[in-house]
Amino acid sequence: MDLFFGFRVPGASGMTTLTSEMYSRYMTLLEFEGHLRRKLEKYDRPRPFISDGNPLECRVFIVGINAATEMRQDFWNFWHRTSGFDKEKWLEAYVLERKEKPLKPNRTRRNRLSSTRQRIEWITESMKPVKALETNLFVKATPTADELDLEDRKSYIFEFLLDTIRPEIIFIHGNEVREYFEEFYNIAITKNKMGSFNIMGTKTNVLAMDHLSRGWSKKKSTDLGKTLRDQIIR
């Protein structure tokens, strides 16, 4: 019998091969955790993604270059084997750590959320009940992407998430991420226009826009969330 990742599944005429396209539908949260833990072993306090619960249920990816806020607490402190990622608990820790960090020179205050985080919250809130995986090409957090070392600019964690979850829509923010997708998947993305592409053998809608750190009002953010939601549940 054919095997894939150690799984055999029933088909129309007995057992059938579990292909990578079918894999995410059969992978359990515990199996996903095992794969992810092994892939993250060499990283110190990585942030592979944020999700409200089970990442395998996310139908939309929100993809940036890398997180800007490095946290003292480890990603796995917010992980539950039966339910996935505890975003509410993580967000509380995120807000507290931002509050406790020293201010930059000539700064007198810091917003509760970073500009990018605030826009993501507006987008994901207006997307409900559709769930999104908030992720980045690179798992190491740095104040700016320019501070990433060459060793940190490896995207295999993101590729694992993409290949495993197979989202229906990928929302890209930032030119560097758009250029990565165009080069890596040999596609031509028209900015601000939803396009359908073959990503890892799966038909996927891709939308690329400006980075969420600037130029996004609350209305623009919530309108985008509703557009992504309606594209999924129409």
pLDDT in tens, 140-184: 887 788 887 888 888 999 999 999 999 999 999 999 999 999 999
pLDDT band at 3 (very low <50, low <70, confident <90, very high): very low
State pLDDT tens for residues 27-75: 799 999 999 999 999 888 899 999 999 999 999 999 999 888 788 899 9
Contact residues for 164 (Cβ-Cβ < 8 A; gap 6+): 23, 24, 27, 32, 35, 56
Cα–Cα distance between 145 and 142 in angstroms, integer?
A: 6
Segments in 65-174 forming alpha helices (H): 87-100, 115-127, 156-165
Q: Which residues of 119-130 are buried (b: 16+ CB within 10 A; e: fewer)?
A: bbbbbbebbeeb
Instruction: For the full predicted model, state whether its pTM sits above 0.75.
Output: yes
pLDDT at 83 over 80: yes
7 or 77: which leads in pLDDT: 77
Domains, the chain, in order of start with CATH, read: 43-233 (3.40.470)
Written as six digits, the tokens of 215 are 């130029």
